[in-house]
Chains A and B, each alone.
Chain A
Amino acid sequence: MRYGRSSEVLKDVAFTLAPGSFHFLTGASGAGKSSLLKLIYLAHRPSRGRIELFGHDVESASRNDLPFLRRRVGVVFQEFRLLDHLSAFDNVALPLRIAGMKPDEYRDDVAELLTWVGLGQRLWAMPPTLSGGEKQRLAIARAVVNRPDLLLADEPTGNVDHEMALRILRLFVELNRLGTTVLIASHDQDLVRRSGMPVLHLYDGKLTRHSGEARAEPRAAPRPAPRDETPQADEQAQFDLGDESEFGDDFGEDEA
């Protein structure tokens, strides 16, 4: 992966995220964490290599298929990317509107989710009036409102205090228990260590594996049928952005 004519930001990156797995993605600033996440949520295409998402080769997927793949990926952006002209309620409802649901179909779910993330009293607040922690939770609510198969979070605890970071982590673990595959990019080593989750570590654009306590959580409920018609796959995502793989391509296997 490279931007324009610059040197490669990511190379020799190969891994698989198994359904229901939970990983941290770590690395120094500039190591390529955000770039890797952008590849996964299809904001960028790799300059070489192959990405398979939910059984689809991203490179060969048609332009019309990409939106349906994106709907299965929830993203908590590093800078939140909330829409300031929409209320907290409308921000969270956004993915459901895009998916074509009617307001009556999601009105109660959105309110319930906002209450779940502790924003039950701020439903109609505009993002600029929210604190950093509230924005963070709002961004998380928006990312998970349509029950994505894969949740990506880019430095989700970067703007909050330690206590809030732990609360957010518990939120992710809870979502993971509900069956969502989670990948969190973070440089908060203490948080990563305390979580005990396996770690994907990026260094100089290459992926190295760090040990982490394997975690096996039972999946709580069967996934609802997706709204689109993209096929389900055993593996959530496969990535191969290099000629050589330094490790096996089944990171998730040892957790299950």
Chain B
Amino acid sequence: MSVATEDPMARWKPAPLLPRDEEREFSLHFVVAVLCFLACLAAVAAIGADRAASGWARDIRGEATVQVRPKLGETGSTAAARAAEALAGVKGVTEAAALEKEKAEALLKPWLGDAVLDDLPIPHLVTVRLDPKAPATAADLHRALSAAGIDGDVDDHARWLRDVERAAGLVRWIAFGVFVVVAAAAGAVVAFATRAGMAAQKDVVEVLHLSGARDEFIARVFQTRFGRLAFEAGAVGALAAIAVALILKLLGGQDGFTPALPLSWWDVTAVSPCPLIAATVAALAARLTTLRLLRGWE
């Protein structure tokens, strides 16, 4: 019986120049994965917050409210109905409806309670839905009311819109800032790990150096090692963040975890570049750290 033996030379390929350091690399994997997880959550939260803020602004921008003052001898309901009819015909208005008395009272209840509502004059309101593509302006609505001989005030919510848009911008910048801080922390951790790794592998680096390796060659060895490590850790962090986002989406019902943070199924794709970004940050940090350390040697 003959046993075929495979020639080791045939399957030989150059071994990695840096030895594996399981303990150190596990710790680094864990830390980078956690940072990437946080960064991905920050990104998902930023997208959700951006969507929520945009929704608020869109809702406000798409509506106007008209308060009608009835003429002498005219009921508020009649005046509101006339105003709704007049406003419905304005270009840029998709719908205009008088707010029922019960609904108007319901709006006041949180502030005034049940006891005194009957004694108070309830404003007669008309809600106007505007065409989002070419909305009618407050002046257009005013003109329509005047033409119909109706006295009333038009509130296009412009004051609220400015506040909401300012808040939305703030939310976007805060989310972006959190993301940048977490990414910078990941880079700093990798730079620190690279420095520690170089100290631990000083003998290897010296042998490479004295064997004629250029600084770029040694830097490439480290950037490849740490870039790959960060890619793997980034993938783990991103997958964990996707899992959390999906849980929030599933548990939060149709509108997401809360109406304030609506999530879409497509949001999970936003974290897909995380491994690549982590690898790039890590490789860059490792390269710069290595080059700086090597230049300090001479």
Contact = CB atoms under 8 A, between A and B. Distances in A.
Given A45-B298, A107-B9, A111-B9, A98 B14 contact: no
A81 B12 CA distance: 23
Interface stretch (A12-20, A67-75, A157-165): A67-75
B19 A85 contact: yes
Contacts of B15: 85-87, 90
A90 B14 contact: yes
A99 B212 contact: yes
A197 interface: no
Contacts of B298: 45, 63
Q: Is the interface of B mostly helix, strand, loop or mixed?
A: loop
A134 B14 CA distance: 21
A43 B14 CA distance: 26
Given A45-B298, A107-B9, A124-B8, A95 B212 contact: yes
Contacts of A85: 15, 19-20
B207 A81 contact: yes
B210 A98 contact: no
B27 to A, nearest CB: 19
Interface in B184-232: 203-204, 206-215, 217
A41 B295 CA distance: 18
A43 B202 CA distance: 14
Contacts of B13: 103
Nearest to B18: A85
A83 interface: yes
Nearest to B13: A103
A68 B208 CA distance: 13
A84 B20 CA distance: 12
A94 interface: yes
Given A87-B15, A89-B12, A98 B217 contact: yes
Interface string A84-123: 1111011001110111000100010001000000000001
A96 to B, nearest CB: 10
Given A67-B214, A123-B8, A93 B14 contact: yes
Contacts of A41: 210
Contact of B204 (A43, A83, A103, A124): A83
A80 to B, nearest CB: 10
Interface of A: 41-43, 45, 63-64, 67-68, 70-71, 75, 81, 83-87, 89-90, 93-95, 97-99, 103, 107, 111, 123-124
11 contacts: A63-B215, A81-B206, A83-B204, A84-B19, A86-B15, A86-B17, A89-B12, A97-B17, A107-B9, A107-B12, A124-B8
Given A67-B212, A83-B17, A84-B19, 17 more contacts: A41-B210, A42-B210, A63-B298, A68-B212, A81-B203, A81-B207, A83-B203, A83-B207, A85-B15, A87-B15, A97-B17, A98-B208, A107-B12, A111-B9, A123-B8, A123-B9, A124-B8
A-B complex: 7 closest residue pairs judged by Cβ atoms: A71-B212, A85-B19, A70-B212, A67-B214, A98-B213, A67-B212, A90-B15
